[in-house]
């Protein structure tokens, strides 16, 4: 469940994120924080539980108390920061305060490649206050540090997170061993938090699967055609590495989106805030049945159906021609079949009762024949006159019979054998 806990951690790292954008020149040759928290799979699962509020005793209660020990804070902070930067962080808890330090490796500064930043969070009158804010060798006066952070938050997109979190947090207690967070929770607050955080959760999934795609493309033998099945299989197989158990529908949507953008040569960076996009990858044409157009029609239809978020669709800038077929080259039943097969995949992938089973099946495929029949013998490049002579219209019996035959071939694919809920 997405809760105010995750909002709290966004606020926690806000000084690091916003100051990074303005203090690029305050850099060092060496990191002040060495890599002490190499997150295991168990640590990552724990971090996600904390950030998603699943570690609270009752996430739905009106008033909740969450106790986070030093290890919890380190795991969560390192996991969250690593979604945006190549970085390490260290939290030390002491009486009434804790110290947060981080070293961020900059992508383009080869002389002084590290930005070392940190701050102390103190408890004053049951409210947190930042002191000892450091930027490399500089230490900002406390009064200026808090004013600067407040100004930067108010002038950035982070203000919504900050306001929502601070309005719900009732008390923060820092002892020698733990930070205890007491926060108020209502259905209205949950709805607001979910609206704010869903996009970031999507971005985390997109970043993860983009990294898997980069690995898959890098390992591909350039002497062979790159199959769409190779990309999809690798990403669906990687979905088992993400935990704790996540919504399989959202994971499947992210996989289709990442694969689709790559296949259609669309830039994934348009979906991310400035300076947070994952690395791009050299494009290799993607094929099915030795044809690029079949792969493009298949994945574009799957993409358009699975990405039902209007904002995403607008930002992607997908053109209708990708779905309708190639203009000026006549009607193609091959394109139509690829479109319908892509739609069938997306429908199954976004069906809550079938999504998880589909993940497991897609992770085990060895060929695109598992989800796309060979339709290369179907009529294509039919001019308007030729289409009318043979099929009259799209309402005619011959046309409907051809479409029915296509759907039967798709349904016979091994992926669409009866799927049972696990």
Burial of 220 (0-12, 13-18, 19+ CB in 10 A): middle
Residue 192 included in any domain: no
- H helices present in 364-419, as ranges: 384-391, 397-411
Of 127, 153, 185, the last residue of a domain is 185
Residues 74 and 156 in one domain: yes
In a domain, 12, yes or no: yes
Is 389 part of any domain? yes
In a domain, 208, yes or no: yes
CB 287 within 8 A of CB 299: no
What token pair was written down for 392?
């009259």
How far, in Å, CA of 300 to CA of 32, rounded? 46
Query: Residue 239, SS3?
Result: helix
Q: Is residue 190 part of a domain?
A: no
* 326 vs 382: CA distance, rounded Å: 12
**pTM exceeding the 0.85 threshold for the entire prediction:** no
- Domain identity same for 249 and 154: no
* Closest by CA position to 341, among listed 366, 305, 391: 305
**Are residues 173 and 273 located together in one domain of the fold?**
no
DSSP string of 173-189, one letter each residue = EE-SSEEEEEEE--HHH
Pair 144, 287 in one domain: no
pLDDT, tens digit, for every residue of 177-234? 888 877 766 555 554 554 444 455 477 788 889 989 999 999 998 889 999 999 999 9
Judge if 210 and 174 occupy the same domain: no
What is the full per-residue pLDDT of the chain (422 aa) written as tens digits? 445 566 566 655 565 555 555 545 577 788 888 765 566 666 666 666 665 555 554 544 556 777 888 888 888 787 777 666 677 888 888 877 888 888 887 766 567 788 888 888 877 766 667 888 887 877 878 777 777 666 665 655 455 555 556 666 677 788 888 888 777 665 555 545 544 444 554 777 888 899 899 999 999 988 899 999 999 999 999 988 886 678 888 899 999 989 988 998 887 876 776 566 677 788 899 999 999 999 988 998 888 777 654 344 334 433 333 334 344 567 888 988 998 899 899 989 988 889 999 999 999 999 999 999 999 999 888 887 888 888 888 788 988 899 899 999 999 999 987 755 55
Q: Sign of the C-alpha dihedral, residues 333, 338, 341, 343?
A: negative
245 and 368 co-located in one domain? yes
Is 356 within the bounds of a domain? Answer: yes
Position 44 in a domain: yes
Q: Nearest 5°: CA angle at 251, between 248 and 255?
A: 135
Same domain flag for 253 and 396: yes
The domain of 118 spans: 4-185
Domain shared by 61 and 145, yes or no? yes
Could you tell me if 245 and 360 lie in one domain?
Answer: yes
Q: Are residues 51 and 177 in the same domain?
A: yes
Q: How many domains does the chain have?
A: 2
pLDDT tens digit sequence for 261-289: 899 888 787 677 656 667 778 889 999 99
From 129, 160, 185, the end of a domain falls on 185
The reply to whether 295 and 271 lie within a common domain is yes
Same domain, 144 and 204: no
Domain boundary among 152, 185, 218: 185
Domain membership flag for residue 422: no
């Amino acid at each position: 469940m997405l809760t105010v806990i995750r909002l709290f951690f966004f606020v926690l790292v806000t000084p690091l994120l916003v100051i990074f954008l303005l203090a690029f020149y305050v850099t060092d040759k060496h990191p002040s924080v060495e890599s002490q928290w190499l997150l295991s799979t168990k640590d990552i699962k724990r971090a996600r539980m904390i950030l998603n509020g699943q570690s609270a005793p009752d996430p739905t209660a009106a008033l909740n108390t969450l106790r986070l020990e030093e290890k919890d804070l380190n795991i969560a902070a390192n996991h969250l920061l690593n979604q945006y930067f190549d970085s390490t962080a260290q939290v030390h808890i002491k009486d009434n305060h804790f110290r947060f330090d981080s070293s961020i490796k900059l992508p383009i500064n080869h002389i002084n490649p590290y930005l070392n930043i940190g701050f102390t969070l103190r408890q004053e009158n049951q409210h947190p206050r930042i002191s000892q804010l450091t930027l490399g060798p500089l230490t900002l006066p406390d009064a200026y540090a808090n004013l600067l952070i407040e100004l930067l938050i108010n002038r950035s997109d982070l203000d919504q997170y900050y306001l929502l979190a601070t309005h719900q947090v009732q008390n923060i207690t820092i002892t020698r061993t733990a930070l205890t967070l007491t926060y108020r929770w209502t259905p209205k607050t949950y709805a607001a938090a979910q609206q704010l955080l869903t996009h970031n959760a999507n971005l985390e999934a997109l970043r993860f699967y983009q990294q898997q795609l980069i690995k898959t493309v890098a390992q591909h033998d350039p002497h062979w055609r790159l199959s769409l099945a190779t990309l999809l299989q690798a990403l669906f197989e990687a979905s088992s590495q993400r935990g704790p158990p996540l919504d399989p529908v959202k994971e499947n949507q992210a996989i289709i989106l990442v694969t689709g953008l790559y296949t259609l040569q669309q830039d994934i960076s348009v979906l991310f805030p400035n300076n947070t996009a994952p690395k791009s990858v050299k494009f290799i044409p993607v094929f099915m049945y030795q044809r690029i157009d079949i792969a493009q029609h298949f994945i574009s239809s799957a993409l358009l159906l699975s990405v039902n978020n209007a904002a995403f669709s607008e930002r992607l800038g997908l053109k209708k021609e990708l779905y309708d077929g190639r203009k000026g080259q006549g009607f193609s039943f091959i394109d139509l079949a690829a479109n319908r097969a892509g739609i069938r995949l997306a429908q199954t992938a976004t069906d809550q009762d079938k999504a998880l089973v589909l993940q497991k099946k897609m992770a085990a495929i060895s060929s695109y024949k598992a989800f796309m029949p060979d339709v290369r013998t179907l009529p294509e490049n039919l001019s308007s006159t030729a289409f009318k002579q043979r099929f009259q219209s799209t309402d005619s019996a011959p046309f409907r019979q051809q479409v029915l035959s296509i759907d039967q071939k798709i349904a016979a694919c091994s992926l669409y054998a009866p799927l049972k809920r696990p």
